[in-house]
Amino acid sequence: MIICSLPRSLLLGGVFIGAFTFTAAAQQPASPPAANPPAAATPAAPAPLPPGSPLIGRPADNQAAAKLAPVAPPPIPAAADKLPTAKLKVPAGFNIEVYAAGMANARSLAVGDKGTVFVGSRLVDKVYAIAEKDGKRTVKVLASGLYRPNGVAFKNGTLYIAELSKVSKIDNVEANLDNPPKPTMIYDNLPKDEAHGWKFIGIGPDNKLYVPVGQPGNNVMHSDAHGQIRRMNLDGSGAEVIARGVRNTVGFDWHPVTKELWFTDNGRDWAGNAGPEDELNRIPKNMEGANFGFPYCHANGIPDPDVKRPNPCAGVVMPAALTGPHSAGLGIKFYTGDMFPKQYKNVAFIARHGSWNREQKYGYDVVMAKTAGGKATVSPFMQGLLNTEKNEFYGRPSYVFQMKDGSLLVSDETNGAIYRISYGNAKTAAR
């Protein structure tokens, strides 16, 4: 099957003024008091925002800011003839086509040993499976009734699924695509906050499971259970924190040579159109448990104007690169294939979901990060989904994943589709 959330308070105020005028000489009867006008009601006070709301901190009496709010993806996927494939642009020699469509809210990606592509979602309750047989691809709902199943990862026949507050698994999943068992929970010691509660999930070269826990709001003082990346065994045991001061990472990967973990991190909102910029970070060797700054220190050493402490950036690991103001970098994948030209080897591809907390939209693309000496240089790769003149977007790249043949998959949350980027033998974008 394909599946194509006030009280108001009223303050009444008025002043009753009676005026009586007496004439001392005539002793005439006093005139009746003038009728009082009806008391004017004061404007209703706005209802308090729920905890963690992305609108907390929005400047008052700011017309430009009043127009900014998160953009939810459509509840149904785009029709095949409405996909923005004709707008997509990649460098010369590369080709882009539709790999699969019809998956509402398509997000993170994983690939099984038999080539099945698994797709998570954030706002719907489903995990999808894309199977290919005899050259034809079919999309199935693998699991439903889940809560924010954004993260998926595959290892040794088992699919791991990260929901808002738990991690589950389905064993021997590719042998049971037509009749899969329900996921089995392996870890649930996670906060239940909605704000930044959806999770990416990854399996490192150490065969450990990595799970992030975002800050429960825009830029807030959080508990010791938030703002971090955790590592655990594949059965959910032995959880430990390997990074702190992380605002909201929903994408990471390991460098093919150094084996260091690199992760995207989304910067705070309501601090202006210029940022602070989002970050690409790395956990240096022998620095597990390091602090990456939030909520006190941003970007390349910018102290937070609201959440303060002495020497806010002392001891903070600075970013390997900045990825743009409010660009919302999500999925990252180091390229290790042989299909692309050799200059792309070990380059990280990053899906930038695109801004909402910025007047002039930014991102909505896939960029490359070339690393050297623990730093990175960011440059464009896949473009076309943002029209800067009209200030409108046509899709939101969410995650990237390398296929066994060396091609690159890109999920588009807005359109519920996945694109395939290849090199050589030019093709026209198609379903």
Distances in whole angstroms, Cα of residue 227 to Cα of each of 148, 177, 200, 221, 265 = 19, 35, 14, 10, 11
Q: Which among 168, 129, 136 has a CA at the least distance from the CA of 149?
A: 168
What confidence category does residue 425 fall into, taking pLDDT thresholds of 50, 70 and 90? confident
Q: Which among 14, 11, 18 has a CA at the least distance from the CA of 38?
A: 14
- Measured at the CA of 78, the angle between CA 389 and CA 127, to 5 degrees, comes to 120
DSSP string, 280-337: EEE--TT-TTEE--TTTEETTTEEPSSS--SSTTTTBPPPSEEEEET--EEEEEE---
More confidently predicted of 255 and 220? 255
Q: Which of 107-111, 220-224, 263-267, 328-332 is predicted least confidently?
A: 220-224
CATH number of the structural domain 80-423: 2.120.10.30
DSSP H helical ranges for 41-180: 63-66
What confidence category does residue 68 fall into, taking pLDDT thresholds of 50, 70 and 90? very high
For 153, the token pair is 């990862």
- Beta-strand ranges (E) seen in 204-296 are 209-213, 228-232, 240-244, 252-254, 261-265, 277-282, 290-291
What confidence category does residue 47 fall into, taking pLDDT thresholds of 50, 70 and 90? confident
Residue 67 has pLDDT above 90, yes or no: yes
Q: Phi-psi bin for 249: left (phi > 0), alpha (psi -120 to 50), beta?
A: beta
401: buried, middle or exposed (CB in 10 Å: 19+, 13-18, 0-12)? buried
CA distance 246 to 278: 11
What confidence category does residue 46 fall into, taking pLDDT thresholds of 50, 70 and 90? confident
At residue 132, the pLDDT reads 93
CA distance 148 to 107: 11
Q: What is the pLDDT of residues 75-112, one digit of tens each?
A: 999 999 999 999 999 999 999 999 999 999 999 999 99
Residue 266 has pLDDT above 60, yes or no: yes
Check if the beta carbon of residue 66 is closer than 8 Å to that of residue 26: no
Residues 6+ apart with CB under 8 A from 10: 41, 44
At residue 40, the pLDDT reads 60
Q: Three-class SS of residue 128?
A: strand
At residue 17, the pLDDT reads 34
Q: Three-class SS of residue 110?
A: strand
For 316, the token pair is 């903070």
Looking at the DSSP bridge assignments, the partners of residue 265 are 279
- Measured at the CA of 368, the angle between CA 79 and CA 127, to 5 degrees, comes to 40
Distances in whole angstroms, Cα of residue 5 to Cα of each of 49, 53, 204, 207 = 12, 12, 36, 39
What confidence category does residue 48 fall into, taking pLDDT thresholds of 50, 70 and 90? confident
What confidence category does residue 135 fall into, taking pLDDT thresholds of 50, 70 and 90? confident
Residue 127 has pLDDT above 60, yes or no: yes
Q: Three-class SS of residue 152?
A: strand
Residue 6 has pLDDT above 80, yes or no: no
What's the whole-number mean pLDDT along residues 2-24? 35
Mean pLDDT, the chain, integer: 90
- Measured at the CA of 283, the angle between CA 277 and CA 286, to 5 degrees, comes to 150
What's the whole-number mean pLDDT along residues 278-283? 98
CA distance 198 to 398: 13
Check if the beta carbon of residue 247 is closer than 8 Å to that of residue 227: yes
Map out the domains of the chain as residue ranges. Answer: 80-423
Longest CA span, the chain: 113
At residue 36, the pLDDT reads 62
State which amino acid sits at residue 201: I
How many other C-beta atoms are found inside a 10 Å radius of the C-beta of residue 397?
A: 29
20-56 residues labelled b (16+ CB within 10 A) or e (exposed): eeeeeeeeeeeeeeeeeeeeeeeeeeeeeeeebebeb
How many other C-beta atoms are found inside a 10 Å radius of the C-beta of residue 291?
A: 19
At residue 3, the pLDDT reads 41
Q: What percent of the chain is predicted at pLDDT more than 90?
A: 84
